[in-house]
Structures are given as C-alpha cells and as structure tokens.
Amino acid sequence: MLPPILRENANFRRYFIGQSVSLLGDQVTLIALPLTAVLALDATPGQMGALLTAALVPNLIFSLHAGVWVDRRGRRREVMIATDVGRGLLIAAIPVAYATGDLTWALLYAVAFLTGVLSVFFYVAYGAFFQVVVPREDYVSANSLIHGSRAFSFLAGNSLGGALVQLLRGPYALALDALSYAWSAFFLGRIDAEEPPGVPHESGGLLSGVHWIRENAVIRAELLGVATLNLFNFIFFALFLLYATRSLVVRPATLGIVLGAGSVGTVGGSFVAGRIARRIGIGRTFVLGCFLFPAPLILVPAAGGPYWLVLLLLFAAEFGSGVGLMLLDIMAGTISAGAVPAPLRSRVSGAFMVVNNGVRPVGTTLGGILGSTIGVRPTLWIATVGSLLGLAFLLPSPIPSIHELPPEPA
C-alpha cells in the first residue's frame, strides 16, 4: 500500500516519481562518466582529478549567486525544468560525440563544468520547491520517501551502471541519465502548485543567506556540525578504497559487495528514520545520525586478523554508516525546511552549499597529503575520530531539544 502522502498528494507524487528516476540516472553517470574517460580517452590520474574538480568547482563559484537569483525570480519549478532540460542535453552530447568520433577532453571538461553549474541552480531551487508541494506536517514522511529513493538509487544504480557500461560501453550508458532528466522535467511540468512570489531586489544581497545562518542558532549549528563531519569523512573516503584493496587485500569484486552493504543500510535507515523521530524527536534523531554515520567507520582502521573477520568488520562499518547517513540526511532536510523562512530559502540553501560542499575537495586533498606523509592507516584513524568532532557543535545547540517542527517562521 502506498504511503498516505503519495496517495493523497498528487503534486508530491509527481515530484517523487520524477526525482526517483533522475536520481537513478545520476548514479549510472557516476560510474559511466569516469569510465568513459578511462576507456575512451585513456585518462591519466591527473586528468581524472581535473574532471572531478570541473564538476565540483561550480558549487563554490555559483551557489551564493544562484540562491539570490532564484529567490528574486520566484518561479522555482521553471528553474528546475530548465536546468533538467539543459543537463539532459549536455549529458546526451557525450554519446553523440563518441558515436561520431568527436569525443575530446575539452568536451568532457565542459560537460562536467556546465552540468555542475546547472545542478547548483537546480538544487538551490529544489529545497524551496519541496516546501511548496509538501505540507509542513508531512516534512518527515516526505523527506523519508525522497531519501529512501536516493538510497535505492545507490543500491541499484551501481549494479545497473556497471551492467550498462559493460553492455553498451561507457559513453552510451550516459544516454540513460540524459533520458532521466527529461523524465524529471516532464513530471515537474505536470505539478500544479502556487509558488510564493519572488523577493524584491532590495530585500537582501549576495550574503543575506550567510548573515541569516550566522544569526540562527539552529541552522548555524547544523551547518558547522555537518561541515565538520564532511571534512573528515572526505579525508576518509579519499583513502578507503586504497586501504581496503592494498592493506586489507580485499578483492575488487568483494569490495563492491561491501559497499553494497552501505547501500542496504541507507535503505534501512530511510525506513526507520520517521519512527525514531516520533519516539525521541527530530533533533535527537539528527544528532544520532551525526554519530552513527561516522562512528562505525572506526572499524575500518581497526580491522585485522583472519580474512573473514576483516570482511565482517567492513560489512558492519558500511551498513551502520549507511543507517546513520539516512538519519542525518532526512532530519537535516526536515530541520532546514522547517526553520528557514520562505523568502530566504534559496539564498540560505546556496550559502549552506558553499560551506558544506566546499569542504569536500579540501578533505580529499588533506587525505592525500596526510596519507603520503604519516601513512594511510593513521590518517584513517584521524578521519574517523575527527568526524565525531561535529557533535561538539550540535550537543550544546538548541537542536537536541527539537521534538517536532515549530510553527512556520515569518
């Protein structure tokens, strides 16, 4: 039986269907795009790093500007449809260029960068539009469904992406993601919801979202806690695959199954998040997620002994971390949706993205530097223990006292 919000809210149902397919397509691209670079263009490590940088840099450059522009424009659904269409056309250019023999590094870099730019505009509009189609009392259940769909895309997307790359070759597998953007745009176009008008030009400048976060104790603590966790988490994941394959001698095929345990954990976490929140409160569930996401990963540098024990510890680490990730993500989205006033939502989202996404390349860079200087395993210990420092911002804040969402902010 469908959850009540899917049965009774046609706008959210269309929103959910469109985003679910688009998320699955994105997961295919996460595999197919780098494999296209490797298989079709014989990529070097430096070129692979540059490709990742091209995709990440737009978050730092455009998030604040996108937030201001979207809030002033107001018509967020139109922004999301336009960016979906644009991303679909950009991704489709890769298999077309490959088929005609015109695929180059310049094209891959351009597609990665421009798709990243459009994604920034899409996601700063995304959070604000979510609140247009979902009643306030349904934020937790709707966020659980969206993140459950994302968890399923993690689980199915890796397998589907690998199969499509093997069956179609990397560039042609990207056609699925191009079609998924068209699917998302189609369902967004069918939503009939009245959006609040854009805010006037004089109501806030480029840094208004930053100033609002600085003055709001709840969102400030949420951002500092999550950004700290992300910084150390990306130090960890910069070295995890290397450590697992070289130091723990886990075979690549087995490692894929281990990572699948994390996806299973995210699916499970999305199912239990709402129940836990009803029992202990939204804020405490968020704090619990911020603990459970990094804490099980301590088992990775601690792993040793017989091969079966190493695998057991890795499975436990990935599964437990996946559960924590969903508790964190669902409640973070719910708290932000409930705390940020409607006229500021895109600007606050843009400011949040600058910091939260900006620490990620910093983390991967630090991971490489520390791994090369003090060793991979000591760096993993620093990363896993350091991730827990985010709790220092959360525990003294008002967040643990949030049991349910307060009235709509002015």
- 177-233 residue pLDDT tens: 888 889 889 988 888 877 776 666 555 566 777 788 888 889 899 999 999 999 999
Average of per-residue pLDDT across 299-317: 93
Query: What are 39-69's pLDDT values in tens digits?
Result: 788 877 567 667 777 887 888 888 878 877 8
Which spans in 217-344 are helix H?
217-242, 252-280, 282-292, 299-302, 307-339
What are the distances in angstroms from CA 350 to CA 119, 305, 379? 12, 46, 31
Average of per-residue pLDDT across 366-372: 85
* Whole-number Å distance between alpha carbons of 250 and 244: 6
In contact, 397 and 221? CB cutoff 8 Å: yes
Residues of the chain with pLDDT > 70, as a percent, come to 89
In contact, 287 and 226? CB cutoff 8 Å: no
Q: How confident is the model at residue 391 (pLDDT cuts 50, 70, 90)?
A: very high
CATH H-level, domain 1-192: superfamily: MFS general substrate transporter like domains (1.20.1250.20)
In contact, 168 and 98? CB cutoff 8 Å: no
* Whole-number Å distance between alpha carbons of 175 and 94: 8
* Whole-number Å distance between alpha carbons of 193 and 321: 37
CATH H-level, domain 205-410: superfamily: MFS general substrate transporter like domains (1.20.1250.20)
C-alpha dihedral sign at 185, 181, 117, 89 = negative
Joined together, the tokens standing for residue 313 give: 């510890």
Give the position of tokens 């091209």. Answer: 54
Q: Which residues of the chain are in CATH 1.20.1250.20 domains?
A: 1-192, 205-410
Amino acid 358 reads G
